[in-house]
Amino acid sequence: MPKPKPQPAIRIQGLHKDYKQHQVLKNITLDLPPQRLSVLIGRSGAGKSTLLRCLNGLETPDQGRLSVAGIDLNFPDDARDEAKDQAVRLRTGMVFQQFHLFPHLTLLENLELAPRVAHGRLDAHTLRRECEDLLDKVDLAFHRDHYPSQMSGGQQQRAAIARALATHPQVLLFDEPTSSLDPQLSEEVLKVMLTLKREGMTQVMVTHELGFARKYADWVVFLEDGVVVEQGPSLQVFGKPKDPRTRDYVKGAA
């Protein structure tokens, strides 16, 4: 018998989002696979970051259905359901364009804060050891007592990834994590994402790094003007795109 198809880590059905009179997301429907790296691509203003922010409650959809890490939400009915919002946030981690590290805390203290505040972790010794292991994972163990201002942009972004991992998320979301970094520092961050990919972490990334998406993404979604134009395995979307808009956008991707 064939193996049953794994359930998607994220399922989006008929999702709409408006800002005043402007439709940002229009009837978005897609499934994103578990334990894989999914990438959202498209021109600026296509709706990629808005869609990503809807996945962990930073934006509230106006209409549609979401299933994220086992939590089901229906909009507009669940728009004010704080319990569901909190459940989603506890199961997802977010890495932003800017690092958002607390400048008055060391890297280690930055990592320890979210598990304490959001998850109520009181086992200080175990938590510290876990956070030290995470800094080692992103090659920042030596800098555990340094402040963000003492770090390069790439180091700060790697620390931000470690901080997101400190809450043991089921899904990790990245909003253009390398957009403010030069190529060498971008490579440092992307290497961490590849390590997480090999370990089976479910990741969803918004990026303009088409070369990285083509080479390493498992699933690619191309958006334009708030609509999913095309989605599929990287080899298909970059190698044999079906829609002329996709072909125009991905041409020249290394």
Burial 27-58 (b: 16+ CB within 10 A, else e): ebebbbbbebbbbbbbeeebbbbbbbbbbbbb
Q: What homologous superfamily is domain 10-249 in, according to CATH? A: P-loop containing nucleotide triphosphate hydrolases (3.40.50.300)
DSSP character at residue 143? G
- Asked if 177 and 93 count as a contact pair (C-beta separation under 8 A), the reply is no
Strand order in the sheet with 37-41: 92-95, 171-175, 202-206, 37-41, 219-224, 227-233
Would you state the pLDDT for residue 6? 65
Q: Report percent pLDDT > 70 for the chain.
A: 95
Q: What is the pLDDT of residues 140-195, one digit of tens each?
A: 999 999 999 999 999 999 999 999 999 899 999 999 998 888 888 889 999 999 99
Confidence class for position 236, pLDDT limits 50, 70, 90: very high
- Residue range 203-229: mean pLDDT, rounded: 95
- Say whether pLDDT at 139 is over 90: yes
Supply the pLDDT for residue 254. Answer: 55
**Least confident segment among 39-43, 51-55, 79-83, 199-203:** 79-83
Question: What span, in angstroms and rounded, lies between the C-alpha atoms of 65 and 163?
Answer: 29
Predicted confidence (pLDDT) per residue in 51-86, tens digit: 999 999 899 999 999 999 989 999 999 888 888 888
The pLDDT tens digits of the residues spanning 87-114 come to: 898 899 999 888 889 999 999 999 999 8
Residues contacting 94, CB < 8 A, separation 6+: 56, 58, 164, 172, 173, 175
The whole-angstrom separation of Cα 151 and Cα 169 is: 25
Q: Return the axis-axis angle of helices 107-119 and 153-165, rounded to nearest 10°.
A: 30
How is residue 167 written in tokens?
């809450």
For the chain, count helices (H), then strands (E).
Answer: 9, 10
Section 189-214 average pLDDT: 94
Q: Beta strand pairing status for 37-41 and 202-206?
A: parallel
What tokens appear for 233 in the block?
A: 């395995």
* pLDDT at site 116: 85
- Strand, helix or coil at 163? helix
DSSP 206-223: E-S-HHHHHHH-SEEEEE
